[in-house]
Amino acid sequence: MIILLVTFFYFVMKNSLIKNAEKMIKYNTEAVALKVEKTNMEAVTVPKTMAIAQENGMWGNRKLSTAYAREILKNTPRFTGAYFGYEPNADQDDQIYRNNNPSQAKSMDKNGRYLPYWFAAGEQIKLTPLINMETSLYYQGCKDRYFSTKKDKAMVTEPYFYEGKMIVEQTYPIEINGKFMGIAGVDRALTDLLIFLNSFKPYDTSKLILISRMGRIISSNMNLGSEKTFKLSLEKLKSKGQKIEETQLDRSMLTFDINDTDYSGILQMFHKARKGTIPLLKKVDPFDNNTYYYYSGKIPTGDWTIVMRVAENEILRPIKIILYGVSGASLLLIGLQVILAIHLSRTMTDPINEVIDASTRIANGNFEVFLQRSDISEIDTLALSLANTAHKLKILTQKLNDEKDQLEDEVEERKQIEASLSESHERFKKVVDGLDAIVYVSDMDNHELLFVNKYAEDVFGDILGTTCWKTLQTNQTGVCSFCTNEKLLDKNGNSTGIYKWEYPNSSNGSWYDCRDQAIPWTDGRMVRMEIAMDITDRKKTEEELSKHRDHLEELVKERTIDLTHTNKKLEKEKEKAEAANRAKSAFLTNMSHEIRTPMNAILGFTEILKEKIENPQLSLYIKSVFSAGKSLLSLINDILDLSKVEAGMLTLEYKPVSLLDILDEMKTVFEQKTSDKGLEFIMEIPFDLPIALFLDEIRIRQVLINLIGNAIKFTNTGYVKVSAKYQYPDPIHRSLIDLTILVEDTGMGIAEDQLDVVFNAFVQQKGQKTSQFGGTGLGLAITKNLIKVMKGEIHIKSEVGKGSVFFIELKGIEVSSAEALKSTQEKFIDFTSLQFKGSKILIVDDIKYNRDLVSSYLEDFNLMLLEAENGKEAIYSAKKNHPNLVLMDMKMPEMDGYEAMNILKKDKALKTIPVIAVTASAMKKDEEMISQLFDSYLRKPISKTDLVAEIMKFLPHFMMKKHKSVNVGTTAAKEPLKTGLKTAPDYFELQKILKRRCKESEHLCCNMAIDKIETFARDMKKLGNEFQCESLVLWGEDLYLAAVSFDADKIKQILEELYTI
């Protein structure tokens, strides 16, 4: 009977202890898991906060971000590092920082990429750039996790040892405007966590093993392998090139893979299992053959696993203590029954019954046991043992109850969290239900509707749980042909983003604008979410618009037909206008050629005759012929200029120009004319006018000559005034100016109704007598058009009888420098001492007097001159004589200059001979064609100076030394000007005046303005008389004679003598 009671007691106690132990193991395992989860969440919150700081204003501020990371590390002792890592050129500043911020080199790589990493080195905090960005788990792993379907974007890396500490890294992605831009992260030492895990001992035999996401040992307070297993695993790590620290060299095998341990089977089972799917396991240890209980808990942040092991012996230890006591007592009672069966029956039965009763109460959970002391020592010992056991079980049960209460509190807390999540879900559902669109979620395999919003229920009814293609469409016998499932996932099963489309619903006839996307569901599977907006009204509107558009297209077609007819008419008119324009251009070209060709001979031979005729009367006639020829040439040029402007063919040549010099030149040119008419010539120029401006010197001079000449022509009393003013549009940079030039006179004035007429070509104002004032009516027309081409404006203010003011406004003129101006000014060359080194020149022209003229120009230069009448003769002569230079006319019978030039350039023996084109055309298109084909060109009429200057570019030459000539009948040569000036009574004052006007003589020499040279000569003669200097008087007379005879070479020779003193 007693044995049965003991056996019954054993099994009751065993089951109770195992159940309580199971609760304790589960509770303690989950308690540890919660502790580790809390620690991980606190650590992950820091990089998340850093990332949010970037997204809320710190992004791109590298200096502030670097300081912020340092403060994180400084104020958090458990962290060993803090950092940011940007994508390459994510803030568009990599190149700027690489080139301009070397002081921040420690926070970026060699390309300027922002990678600041603060780390603790003892008590110091140091900065260095991050490395291995594209292969590291802390960066690339975080980036991959960001683009994955996982909700939690935080990353906890695998553990590693550094300077004796177990380290893990926590990172969080930085997202700017929906794009991945980098990471924020911290390094955490697990020292405190490992101490806690190693010290947590709910049982004497309890062991804890912490496993990482990828199956590595983070913490273990037990040996996970035999000596042999440890050595083999250690060699495996070393063979992979991994650095092994001393802290890893023990059989707890920290950071080793669980597959390399002797407990790989059971650890893999818990590591791969989902939370709560594996109950309490009972396994026999392979080394000590003892039985152990195992249980695991999951740590979501970091995806870690905690495994607890407890020995079965420890769990059953209380029952063994009781069993040993009860067994001894039973044997003693049996013996006493045999020996003292009757005598001691009464004495023994009561204490034993009390012990049995107490054992029953203990088995039923009543630990309040009180047993009387027995005189029999064995029974007394048994009673004391049973009482002690009851006391221990009471304490243990109380502890279990306390822990159970704590666990229930935590479970309650989790329920509150779940309730909060449920409330959040309800709020979300209210938001979704409030959308004016159909929203539903369906399974991507069986097409079951997992979620629908109220709008969808209002349209289709109670459809949750049904198949989408059966419910949302009518008469559909299978999956819809337009189903978007295949478009929402890539080959790896990842979401491809939002897919947009439109379709008509067959169940209600409405059109919907849809947005589909694959999203992860609560159980981890990928599902399809669709948001569909009703666009039926929009479609109807589009249909109406389409009808209107079709109607408009018909109207447009009709209008197009009308426009086509109109365009054809305009095209014909345009063709007529172009034909007229071509005829005009052809006429101008022919006129230019036909007039310039004989003018070439007239002016050329007149120039030669001036040098040879000594009779004063004949010389005067020649001078008149030359002057008339020049006037005719000027008229031709005016007509051609006007035609070019009207045709848009006039090209300006901008270069640095001294406006001051041009205005001084105007004063020199017109001062004598105003003096002769008794007018005052006033010049008002700002003293600080920029030295050089980018202008077309020829055209601005032409404009001024026209306006000033007109002012003098129409003014008989009073004055003519030229003034200028300017301002800087940008006063700081001063690279441009707005220029205004005013030409004012006190002449006859212009009536208000004639102000626009005066700018018309060949038109003169009403009342103007051509016989009195002369002119062709082209001057102001050309002036206005030239100013228009220069992007300027011209205005008039005038009053009849009081005079006129012409305003020239040129805006945005570029300011140049004195050095640039100097580089553009030409130097004077004395052709009278020039000689060529016996070169041969072939002159090709169908008109004999043109060939004779060129020959006359070149007869004094030691040249062999050959002639040809057309292109054919030119090619023959070139092959026979191989000249050093060819002067080729363009228009000739049999073969013109273009064809002859093409043949010459194709001949290997002749193609290197330079050819200068001689043309009478003034048209731009002819100049462009000639420039492309010929080495250079001259325009008729040709002057000796221009001809010789052009030849000098191609033929070798030298300058002969000058020898003083002595006139026949005189005892000595004419006294040099330099020597004669010293005889003047007031030599030094005269010298100062001449130096001031010396620059003027240089310009006269370069520009060859004959009327200005005549004025200058008279001024010098007058100055010589004032200072009683005969040499200067004679010098002025020589210059004047050279000017009136148009002897350019002589003029340059005489002027050179002045500006060389």
pLDDT tens for residues 988-1017? Answer: 788 888 888 887 877 777 777 777 888 888
Q: What percent of the chain has pLDDT over 70?
A: 78
E strands in 776-848: 793-799, 803-816, 834-836, 840-844
The confidence score (pLDDT) of residue 360 equals 62
Q: Which of 858, 860, 886, 862 is nearest to 873 (CA)?
A: 886
CATH architecture of 433-534: 2-Layer Sandwich (3.30)
User: What's the CA gap between 1033 and 1012, in Å, rounded?
Assistant: 18
Residue 305 above 80 pLDDT? Answer: yes
Burial class (CB in 10 A: 0-12, 13-18, 19+), 190: buried
User: What's the CA gap between 684 and 701, in Å, rounded?
Assistant: 17
Residue 785 above 90 pLDDT? Answer: no
The confidence score (pLDDT) of residue 973 equals 44
Residue 722 above 90 pLDDT? Answer: yes
The confidence score (pLDDT) of residue 226 equals 82
Q: Which has more confidence, 988 or 897?
A: 897
CA dihedral 998, 1003, 1008, 1012 (to 10 degrees): -60
User: What's the CA gap between 488 and 516, in Å, rounded?
Assistant: 8
Highest mean pLDDT among 50-64, 93-107, 596-610: 50-64
User: What's the CA gap between 762 and 758, in Å, rounded?
Assistant: 9
The confidence score (pLDDT) of residue 838 equals 77
Q: What is the mean pLDDT of residues 388-415?
A: 71
Confidence of residue 772 (pLDDT cuts 50, 70, 90): very low
Residue 481 above 80 pLDDT? Answer: no
Q: What is the mean pLDDT of residues 1056-1060?
A: 75
Confidence of residue 90 (pLDDT cuts 50, 70, 90): confident
Fold for 831-959, please state it: Rossmann fold (3.40.50)
Residues 455, 433 contacting (CB under 8 angstroms): yes
User: What's the CA gap between 133 and 86, in Å, rounded?
Assistant: 10
Residue 446 above 70 pLDDT? Answer: yes
Alpha helical stretches, state H, 472-535: 485-488
Amino acid identity, position 568: K
Confidence of residue 84 (pLDDT cuts 50, 70, 90): very high
Can you give the length of the chain in residues? 1061
Q: Do domains 39-189 and 433-534 have the same CATH topology?
A: yes
E strands in 676-771: 680-684, 692-695, 719-727, 736-745
Alpha helical stretches, state H, 54-152: 62-74, 94-100, 142-147
Residues 45, 78 contacting (CB under 8 angstroms): no
User: What's the CA gap between 60 and 92, in Å, rounded?
Assistant: 9
Residues 955, 885 contacting (CB under 8 angstroms): yes
H or E element at residue 527? strand 526-534
Phi, psi of 764 (to 5 degrees): -120, 155
Lowest mean pLDDT segment, chosen from 534-543, 561-570, 620-629, 1040-1049: 620-629
The CATH label, of 3.20.20.10, 1.10.510.10, 2.30.40.10, 3.30.565.10, for the domain at 651-817 is 3.30.565.10
3-state SS record for 292-314: EEEEEEEECCCCEEEEEEEEHHH
Amino acid identity, position 228: K
Q: Helix, strand or coil for residue 687?
A: coil
Residue 610 above 50 pLDDT? Answer: yes
The confidence score (pLDDT) of residue 887 equals 96
User: What's the CA gap between 852 and 859, in Å, rounded?
Assistant: 10
Instruction: Tell me 757's DSSP state.
Output: G
Confidence of residue 972 (pLDDT cuts 50, 70, 90): very low
Residue 924 above 70 pLDDT? Answer: no
Confidence of residue 589 (pLDDT cuts 50, 70, 90): low
User: What's the CA gap between 261 and 229, in Å, rounded?
Assistant: 7
Q: Helix, strand or coil for residue 351?
A: helix
Confidence of residue 796 (pLDDT cuts 50, 70, 90): very high
Residue 620 above 50 pLDDT? Answer: yes
Residues 872, 851 contacting (CB under 8 angstroms): no
Q: What is the mean pLDDT of residues 423-448?
A: 83
Highest mean pLDDT among 414-418, 635-639, 983-987: 983-987
The confidence score (pLDDT) of residue 882 equals 94
Q: What is the CA radius of gyration of the chain?
A: 57
User: What's the CA gap between 812 and 835, in Å, rounded?
Assistant: 47
Q: Provide the pairing of β-strand 840-844 with 885-889.
A: parallel
CA distances from 691 to 484, 589, 662 (A): 75, 39, 11
What average pLDDT does the chain have? 80
Residue 913 above 90 pLDDT? Answer: yes
Residues 502-523: b if buried by 16+ CB within 10 A, e if exposed: eeebeeeebbbbbebbbeeeee
In the chain, domain spans: 39-189, 433-534, 651-817, 831-959, 984-1058
The confidence score (pLDDT) of residue 94 equals 82
190: which 2 tokens?
């697990």
CB atoms within 10 A of CB 901: 22
Q: What is the pLDDT of residues 668-706, one digit of tens each?
A: 778 888 998 999 999 999 988 898 898 988 788 888 988
Q: What is the mean pLDDT of residues 492-499?
A: 88
* First vs last C-alpha separation in the chain: 155
Residue 341 above 50 pLDDT? Answer: no
On the CB side of 1012, how many CA atoms lie within 13 Å of its CA?
A: 20
Q: Helix, strand or coil for residue 836?
A: strand
Residue 969 above 50 pLDDT? Answer: no
The confidence score (pLDDT) of residue 335 equals 52
Q: What is the pLDDT of residues 829-875, one digit of tens each?
A: 556 667 887 789 999 999 888 898 898 888 878 889 999 999 999 99
Look at domain 39-189 and name its CATH class.
alpha beta
Alpha helical stretches, state H, 364-437: 377-433
Q: What is the mean pLDDT of residues 168-197?
A: 91
Q: Which has more confidence, 899 or 324?
A: 899
CA dihedral 560, 562, 568, 570 (to 10 degrees): -110
Amino acid identity, position 998: C
Instruction: Tell me 269's DSSP state.
Output: H
